[in-house]
Structure 1
């Protein structure tokens, strides 16, 4: 049976969302980030990224990780796309061309969107008025995002999903990167096709199940 390591409040959200979509049986080991614990080495500490049992799986001490038989993967995009190919059904690629497109959109989101989106996520997620320095940082991140979001918006203006007519794992990995920018409502309003698509993705029961798991964990 496939085993997934990582809590919902991490990039494990990507494969966990897909696993909820597919109904694939899996074992979930909720490894928490060591930096979130007062003492990750304490005798009563939960299994975490510094635990020897986990570093035996991923010596880089990061989540998520996945084990399926003898195969171990330690990058969230690779894990999600592997699950899509092996267990995804219609959520996975149907051809070599779809595989290439899914990989392209996943890498596009990870390289062009995720970094600046995360830069703005943290100050906005605090829910406090931004300092002038924070606002300046958010503005810089928003400017970095306008070009890739414009490209995504143009695509989604004529296609309901990233691969075309059906929702796939490609939407999951792109949506989970774009989500980090979702708190910047003014920025999202500039790209209405992206905003509408993201809300459609997040209305799916599997996303809601993943999100409920995330909300049940300590912040």
Structure 2
């Protein structure tokens, strides 16, 4: 059986969402991020990314990690792409062209969108007042995101989905990155096709199941 190391309040959410879409059974080992613990090295601390037992599985000390048979694999996007290829029709690629496009959009998400989207996630809280420095960082991140989100807007307006005219792992990978900037309503509302696509992705039962599990975990 597939094993997923990582709490759902992490990039493991991408893998878990895909597994729910596929109907793929898995065992989850809830490894928590060390920075979320007061003393991750204390005796009796929860299994975390600095625990020796986990470091034997993942020397880089990062979640998520999956084990599938003899394969141990890290990096969440590599994990979702692997699982979609092996188990995931119609969510995986049907040919080399789709495979390349799924790689392209997944890399675009993590290189061109995720860094600034994470700035918004960590600093922007709807209804709360940010410091002047945080406001400037949010504004700069949102400004930098206009160009890559404009690319997505045009693509989704033409195609409806990331690859193949259907919902695939590429939509999961992209949606989970764009979600980080979702709290910035003024930014997202500039891109109606992107906004509606994201809402459709998050309305899927598999996402809703993952999200319910995520919310059930301690913050």
Give TM-score, length-normalised by structure 1: 0.97
- Tell me how many residue pairs correspond in the alignment: 219
* Aligned match of 2:40: 40
Taking the aligned partners of 2:11 and 2:95, their CA distance within structure 1 comes to 27
Aligned residues of 2:20 and 2:210 also touching (Cα < 8 A): yes
Cα distance in structure 2, aligned partners of 1:45 and 1:67: 23
Q: Distance in 2 between matches of 1:111 and 1:5?
A: 24
Distance 1:167 1:184 in 2: 25
- Whether the aligned pair in 1 keeps the contact of 2:126 and 2:184 (CA below 8 Å) is no
Aligned to 1:140: 140
SS at match of 1:47: coil
Q: Does 1:77 align with 2:63?
A: no
Residue equivalent to 2:2: 2
Unmatched 5+ stretches in structure 2: none
What's the counterpart of residue 60 of structure 1? 60
Q: Cα RMSD over matched residues?
A: 1.1
Shift in CA distance, 9/152, structure 1 to aligned 2, threshold 3 Å: same
| Equivalent residue number for residue 171 of structure 1 | 171
Match in the other structure for 2:12: 12
Shift of residue 121, structure 1, vs aligned partner: 1.2
Give deviations 1:6-56, integer Å, cap 9, x for gaps: 001111111111011111111111100111112222332221111111111
Query: Partners in 2 of 1:133 and 1:126 — Cα distance?
Result: 17
Show the counterpart of 2:190: 190
Q: Which runs of 5+ in 1 are unaligned?
A: none
Helix, strand or coil for the counterpart of 2:59?
coil
Task: Give the equivalent residue in structure 2 for 1:89.
Answer: 89
- CA-to-partner distance for each residue in 1:129-167, whole Å, 9 max, x for gaps? 122221111110011101100000000001111014210
SS in 2 for 1:210: helix
- 1:158 and 1:203 map into 2 onto residues whose CA distance is 21
CA distance in 2, matches of 1:159, 1:131: 40
